[in-house]
Amino acid sequence: MLRSRLRSLSTLKPFTRSVMSFPQPTAERQSELIENYEAILAQVNASQGSKQVRLVAVSKLKPASDIMALYNHGVRHFGENYVQELIAKSQELPKDIKWHFIGSLQTGKCKDLGKDIESLYAVETVDALKKCKKLNTARQGGAPINVYLQVNTSSEEQKAGYRLDNLEEIYETVAFLLSEECSSLNLEGLMTIGSFAESTGEGEINRDFAQLTELKATLDKKYGLDLLLSMGMSNDFVTAIGQGSTSVRVGSSIFGSRPPNNGH
Ligand SMILES: *Cc1c(COP(=O)(O)O)cnc(C)c1O
């Protein structure tokens, strides 16, 4: 009884809820964030070639009101790193936000991630077949989630992602994602995090990004795809776009430095 009443209320929400009922920033904070965002967007636009590059605003550990500042300006793609924080924000904020999960993906969290976030646009950190299977199962009946395979292009011990010395594992995951059994996930692209050394080095070419571009060529050819590339953050997004990135994930250059992530 109660549940059905709640449900009918929530279906009314899009028509009755005005934008002012969401947590709003101060006018000062809003203009600061819009200015930062526009400055990054101008650099993205100036760096891109014929392929349009998406700018994902990484809002982890930032308040919902910061997200609304950019939402009010028309921004819809936001990136988050922590499952519980993402679920809370997705429930609190407008339903037409396109959320990107870009944090480390734990097997035990795949179910919550797949099930509880209606407006989840992409999971960019898939690094194992079993996680794909769990996400796919959890998502049954919901809008498909776009998936990026995270690749550990720098082979750093502490970093997540598929290893380039084990292509079979990547092929196995791609084959599953393209199979009929996998009806709730859509393989959209590949993702990497450039190593600190490559991102801050003097070289014009970032070797991590070059490796991801090379893997894209291999997979495109083998499976007849045209995979997108999510690479580039505050420090290295211009280089990444020069090397073929189609989606950059920028946090601190838009929102400012983050508080230490206690509790995560
Ligand atoms: C935090 C984070 C970003 C944003 O990093 P900035 O350096 O703040 O731009 C991008 N990608 C991933 C995977 C992240 O965890």
Which residue's CA is the closest to the ligand 1 atom numbered 4?
A: 251
With contact defined as beta carbons under 8 Å apart, do 176 and 182 qualify?
yes
Closest CA to 198 of 150, 220, 231: 231
The answer to whether the pTM exceeds 0.85 is yes
Which residue's CA is the closest to the ligand 1 atom numbered 13?
A: 102
Which residue's CA is the closest to the ligand 1 atom numbered 14?
A: 102
CB within 8 Å of 92: residues ≥ 6 apart: 22, 23, 64
Q: What is the mean pLDDT of residues 144-165?
A: 95
Q: 6 pLDDT exceeds 70?
A: no
Q: 4 pLDDT exceeds 60?
A: no
Residues 175-231 pLDDT 10s? 999 999 999 999 999 999 998 888 887 778 999 999 999 999 999 999 999 999 999
Q: 7 pLDDT exceeds 60?
A: no
Cα 7 to middle of ligand 1, angstroms: 36
Instruction: Report the pocket of ligand 1 as residue ranges, CB < 6 Å.
Output: 58, 60, 81, 102, 193, 233-235, 249-253
Enter the DSSP assignment of 38. Answer: H
